[in-house]
Amino acid sequence: MIFFTSQLYDGMQPQSGWERRARRQWMRRWKISREYSALISPLLPAPVVRLARETLHDAVVESVAQHDGSLTLIMDARRALGGFAGRRVQLLFTGVKHRIRTLGLVGRWWLYEEAHLCSRARFSLHVLLDEGELEIEADELRIQRASKPKGSGDGVCG
């Protein structure tokens, strides 16, 4: 993460000792990040712009699969904030430039994302999780509703 680092996020939490200063810095960085996003959005694939705009804040990583230059994340956004709230979402990254460390991702909470230009791929998506970060360099992103999990009888449309 470039704008919204885990250190800054931790500083915003109650009892951090520098909560007020962290909040001011967060707001400054938020403003700069909006200006940055407006400048680079025309150069990014449309689904990446959509993901950054609508956000998966508070979605939970339900499953991860990585094969031959692709990465698939199934996100449970049923209780998340943002434009994907209320459903399960599949993110399919193709043209992934390096293997992503997927061990321990299932169950992690997606907090914030940043889309960036990248010299090795069409974009780089940085994700701040409740524990750790992801950086995905890829050429394409496809976003779609995820099907219901096997054995799910809850009647919730995926």
Q: What is the pLDDT of residues 61-72, one digit of tens each?
A: 999 999 999 999
Three-state DSSP at 28 gives helix
103 has pLDDT over 60? yes
Kindly state whether residue 104 falls inside one of the protein's structural domains.
Answer: yes
Kindly state whether residue 83 falls inside one of the protein's structural domains.
Answer: yes
Kindly state whether residue 124 falls inside one of the protein's structural domains.
Answer: yes
pLDDT of residue 148: 78
The C-alpha angle 156, 157, 158, rounded to 5 degrees, equals 110
The beta-strand segments (E) located in 95-149 are: 109-116, 123-129, 133-138, 140-145
Kindly state whether residue 77 falls inside one of the protein's structural domains.
Answer: yes
Kindly state whether residue 58 falls inside one of the protein's structural domains.
Answer: yes
pLDDT of residue 121: 98
The whole-number average pLDDT for the span 98-109 is 95
Q: Considering just the CA atoms, what is the radius of gyration of the chain in Å?
A: 16
Instruction: Write the DSSP assignment of 2-22 as a string of letters.
Output: -SS-HHHHHHTSTTSS-HHHH
Q: What is the count of structural domains for the chain?
A: 1
pLDDT of residue 151: 61
Kindly state whether residue 21 falls inside one of the protein's structural domains.
Answer: no
Kindly state whether residue 17 falls inside one of the protein's structural domains.
Answer: no
